[in-house]
Structure 1
């Protein structure tokens, strides 16, 4: 079963986190930085310990890990450019963060063929948080696990 810890220990792969999961994003980036990875992020909305650079992933400089924001909310041309970039950088560790919640509707996006993990975070109105973790192979879900935490 795909586990949140397993994702923290990755050396390469594409992880898409959707929903308002800033805490998870921060946790992964901090862990990857702690393990000595240099990280490029498009912008920094919170403090991350370690070696982190701000810039565009398309500028040509190579990093160990990347954080790209709102890949599904971009224009069609920007999504196609990102898709080509992801296909060329499969050996890197890439965290895609989409602010809107996407889980089952990921099947509508071509990016599903390039992601290894989808983490869909949702804060429920009845006082708990739900995290669905799915592992993908060739655009299809091969494993899935749900975590629930009461607030």
Structure 2
């Protein structure tokens, strides 16, 4: 399922739990194909060319990186939801630092995302990545990956 996400042409992916490495992998993979990437700002380093700016002011890009969409004020979240509804043909990576998995059902953004990746680093020496495919705000498929370090 993780490789399927890297090969997307359009859709919205939400990464939660401060999964910087995963977000970096996806941004690098998507920018390699000659796609133009616009990020609000970069909380991690990337290899390709990434433009910095507000995604709400430009429609000229193929990939957008929006940081901390769940931690915004109510007015900003509503603006983001309207923007997401109008950009379903673009590839959008929503990167949230706080961990959200099953509680995504409390957020209105669930209606706009296609994949949820919940990254969690455990204290006993492993990482857990839960990937969920969503359709119309409901989970239709999921897979869990565990890696020891």
**TM-score, with structure 2 as normaliser:** 0.98
1:110-129 mapped onto 2 (5 Å cutoff): 110-129=108-127
Pair 1:41 & 2:32 matched: no
Mapping of 1:90-105 within 5 angstroms?
90-105=88-103
Query: Does 2:81 match 1:83?
Result: yes
Unaligned runs of 5+ in 1: none
What is the deviation of 1:72? 0.3
Query: What SS does the corresponding residue of 1:66 show, helix, strand or coil?
Result: strand
* Matching residue of 2:49: 51
Aligned residues of 1:37 and 1:51 also touching (Cα < 8 A): no
Residue 27 of structure 2: aligned partner:
29
Q: What is the root-mean-square deviation of aligned Cα atoms in Å?
A: 0.8
Structure 2, gaps ≥5 residues long: none
List, as ranges, runs of 4+ consecutive aligned residues in structure 1 with deviation greater than 2 Å. none
**1:89-138, CA deviations, whole angstroms, 9 ceiling, x for partnerless residues?**
00000000000000000000010011000000000111100000000001
Q: Would you say how many aligned residue pairs link Structure 1 and Structure 2?
A: 149
